[in-house]
A and B are shown apart, each in its own frame.
Chain A
Amino acid sequence: MDLHLDDRLLHGRILHGWGRRLGARRYVLVIPAAGDPARRAVYAAVAREAGAELVLAAADAAPAPRAGDFWLADGPAAALALWRAGRRYRRLILIGLRRSAGRRLGPDITADEADLDALRALQAAGVGCERRRFPDEAGEPLPPL
């Protein structure tokens, strides 16, 4: 499986640009266990509208992957936590990461120091990290971190 990364989680680009094109039937959002209840409720409503199932899971309680899944984390820290919890993914696809300050790694991708540390750790673990805005674009490797 691939893990996608977008700090906005379930929003327009994910739903229309990725999910519909890839035929996503279930969105798995890797988020902190104590995530904001209002946001959880919004994501549930959005997934319902899209006709897809939604699973909100902490990194150490993620479900088993299945066909039609679209896995999504809100930042490199969540991606690293998922990896460290033993869930293996083929690659990490950075779609959007919009920090107010940090290093610009590509369109819609600005990483702060904590993000960079987590991405370095993932790369050191052998995870291929690429940036890609839409599924029909070629993925580009991240610049040296």
Chain B
Amino acid sequence: MIPAVIVCHGALGEAYLEALAGIYGEVTDVATVTNEDLGAEELESAVAASLERLAGGGIVFTDYFGGSCANACLTLLPARPAVRLISGVNLPVLLYYLAHRHELGMDELVRGIVNRGHNSIRELSPPVL
């Protein structure tokens, strides 16, 4: 099973966990980190501490490239080759991750997550009655 950490602005990470618990059921082995009130170095320290649980390999989800959360993760990534970083986290992506993290290897899981993310944003047409 591949564990994960969600690093997001404000209360987003916890809100995702709460929503996932309502949709998917109990979520284990997913931690969250917020940037709330943290300076750049403090945020890096908080992310580094959470990455300890991914020492054997894992996925970090962050909200968007260019934000302080992604910046902190990117800064720490070179020293952690077993950790993969995915930006643009949303509920479809997290649901895909939960559904497949037990059965897929890391490369395949990451590919699937990214594809799911790409497909998750679309314009929906009203149903034909």
Contacts and interface: CB of A to CB of B under 8 A. Distances in A.
User: Are these two chains actual partners, yes or no?
Assistant: yes
B71 A98 contact: no
B39 A98 contact: yes
A9 interface: yes
Most buried by A among B39, B65, B75: B39
Interface of A: 7-12, 15, 36, 38-39, 41-43, 45-46, 49-50, 74, 97-100, 108
B99 interface: no
A11 B67 contact: yes
Nearest to A39: B75
B75 A38 contact: yes
Nearest to B44: A39
> What size tier do the contact residues of chain B reach?
10 to 19
A-B pairs with lowest CB-CB distance, top 5: A98-B39, A11-B68, A12-B67, A42-B74, A38-B75
Contacts of B65: 46, 49
Contact of A9 (B40, B42, B76, B78): B40
Interface in B7-44: 9, 37-40, 42-43
B39 A46 contact: no
Contacts of A41: 74
